[in-house]
Structure 1
Amino acid sequence: MNSEKETFQEKNFISKSLFYRLSQFFGFLLGARFFVAFLLTFALYVSTFFLFNQDENFRNFVFDFKVHGIIFCTVLSILAGGIINQFYDFEKDHVVKPFRTRIQSFIKQKYFLYVYLAFTAISLGVAGFISYRVFIFFVIYQFFMWFYSHKLSRIFILNNVTFVSLTLYPFFGMMVYYETFSKKVLLMAIFLFLILLCIDIVKDTLTKRADKAFGYKTIATVYKDKTAKSIIIFLIILTMMVSMKLIAKTGISGFLSYYFSAGLFVMIFCIYFLLNNSKRGNFITINILRFWVFVGIIAMLLNGIEGKL
């Protein structure tokens, strides 16, 4: 009888220990925003090979270790940025993201900081090994990621513009590396900047109360709901205008032409949901826009494969 009881207690202990370790693992993934980093890495590879790097063949691209090194540094920098951001936003996340914060609580904050320092050091070490210019590029990137989390995330307008700019910074780096400057690339960058800006501002409308309580000045906290939504709708209309310019003036073809054409109707749906003046409408809008960014990456991939065949 005692033997059975001990066996049961042992199994229960193993089960709790396994749950604790898994919770730590998922807490780390969420804290580092691993899934966001994975999506950005995928987008960076797709855009690098099919948009910026138009002359090099696939074999040369695969063995271009300098490019892979830059993307590796970018991934580590994004993970480090996610960690330092959740460190500064920890109190706010308790209110806005209670489930994620609960999982992250299985790991002490000091361990997140250790990983942040390790990722930063490894990233800068690899960047320095590639070239001093790449090193400077990532020093600037990591400094502004820290400065955004520490200070800029609470400053009106700068918080949204800086967040979107930091998201696009690695893509700008690849564009400079390959010296791919064209009207099409510029308009696509403006399109992506506007759609990400819309996502960030809509996100602020969903976290308005917490932002106000913790001193974050956003468009949603400074202006009334009607004004904030008018700004978002104006940005969506600008995005639609850029899409039409891309279709009409750059000779864009294939899957990307379908993407930008269909995007006009997607934007109209977003405006419709925003005009509903409800939190649910905002939630649907932000998820539609996020999904449409992902569709854009897939469209670029398919368009690139079609062009390379």
Structure 2
Amino acid sequence: MQSIINLIRWKNLLMIALAQYLIKYALLQPFAVNMSLSHFEFSLLALATICIAAAGNIINDIYDIETDFINKPKQIIIGKTITEKTAYNLFIVFNVIGVGIGFFVSNSIGKSELFSIFVIISILLYLYASFLKQTFLIGNIIVSALVAFSIIIVGIFELIPAMTSQNQAIQLTFFKIILDYALFAFMLNFLREIAKDIEDVDGDFKTGMHTLPIVIGRERASKVLFWLSLIPLLIIIYYINTSLYKQPIAVGYFLIFLVGPLIYTSIKLFSAKTKKAFHSISNLLKLVMLFGMLSLLLYPIITH
């Protein structure tokens, strides 16, 4: 059982669920925004998202067996504690559950066409694992977009079906806030993907992948990652300066938990050389993403 929990990457799934619950209960509910889903239906939406993400993690590990033997031999699960056949069966089970729940939730709010979202995401995760991951930057963009979409999907299911001509302005205002957080998640996850590619360059090269560090070299990729890391940093500083300057609590939070760690990450990137250094940078970016999502808890405080 422990092997299955590790295989589906429970910490990443927990972070997806946390982000979705924060959007509903820290951002939307305190402001009495019109929403479509009941508490139960929303829990099902979160469960569907997590199941499909878990299936994506499993199929990713199935296709990564060869590279993982080189990159992280001590962390291998498939082939050691779980057979490849069992892993593939789990992939199918999680997908069926996720898509099935997605179908139920879509129909329960009278928007059966939204069911196609779950099918498309499931297919994209399979395509990512099977061959998109090997292509230059395309795989990084796809998986980062899917992480961002796990946030956007809350707005699609909660806000859009409940939109009327009377409440359109307020619904779109909150949908834009959700999009801002999704963009933040996309940028940080994209940086993480490149950091992981640099970390895993040896195994990826031997298995014929075409990641950024393989195409342009590890050192150049590191420098590209450094310059890219400045983009979310500058955007957050601009946001603090234009939108939060009258809210000292929010300014303090953003400076300590987002700006500070991002500056530290950029400094580390400038001199990073080893596999261990890029691994710690990847973990640091995940931590910044978590703090970014937790900033949703500030909305009820700073607007009242």
What TM-score does the superposition give when structure 1 sets the normalisation length?
Answer: 0.82
Amino acid at match of 1:240: L
2:260 is paired with a residue of what secondary structure? helix
1:155 pairs with 135, 155, 177, which one? 135
Could you say which residue in structure 2 is the equivalent of 1:12?
A: none
Unaligned runs of 5+ in 2: 161-170
Deviations 1:271-290 (A, max 9, x none): 22122242143233222222
Could you say which residue in structure 2 is the equivalent of 1:273?
A: 268
Indicate how the Cα distance of structure 1 residues 104 and 306 shifts in structure 2: closer, same or farther if over 3 A, else same.
Answer: farther
Alignment pair present for 1:35 and 2:14 = no
2:281 pairs with 282, 285, 305, which one? 285
Deviations 1:45-91 (A, max 9, x none): 1123223555448xx99943222221111111111111111111111
Q: Aligned partners of 1:110, 1:255: CA distance in 2, in Å? A: 52
Alignment pair present for 1:115 and 2:90 = yes
Could you say which residue in structure 2 is the equivalent of 1:176?
A: 156
Q: Aligned partners of 1:234, 1:273: CA distance in 2, in Å? A: 12
Q: Aligned partners of 2:28, 2:227: CA distance in 1, in Å? A: 30
2:225 pairs with 232, 236, 242, which one? 232
Q: Which has the higher contact order (CA 8 A, sep 6+)?
A: 2
Alignment pair present for 1:203 and 2:199 = no
Q: Does structure 2 conserve the Cα–Cα contact (< 8 Å) formed by 1:191 and 1:239?
A: yes
Unaligned runs of 5+ in 1: 1-24
1:234 is paired with a residue of what secondary structure? helix
Alignment pair present for 1:298 and 2:267 = no
Could you say which residue in structure 1 is the equivalent of 2:206?
A: 213
Rg larger in 1 or in 2? 1
Alignment pair present for 1:146 and 2:105 = no
**Aligned CA-pair RMSD:** 2.6
Amino acid at match of 2:280: I
1:105 pairs with 67, 80, 87, which one? 80
2:76 is paired with a residue of what secondary structure? helix
Q: What displacement does 1:308 show?
A: 9.0
Amino acid at match of 2:49: T
Alignment pair present for 1:260 and 2:260 = no
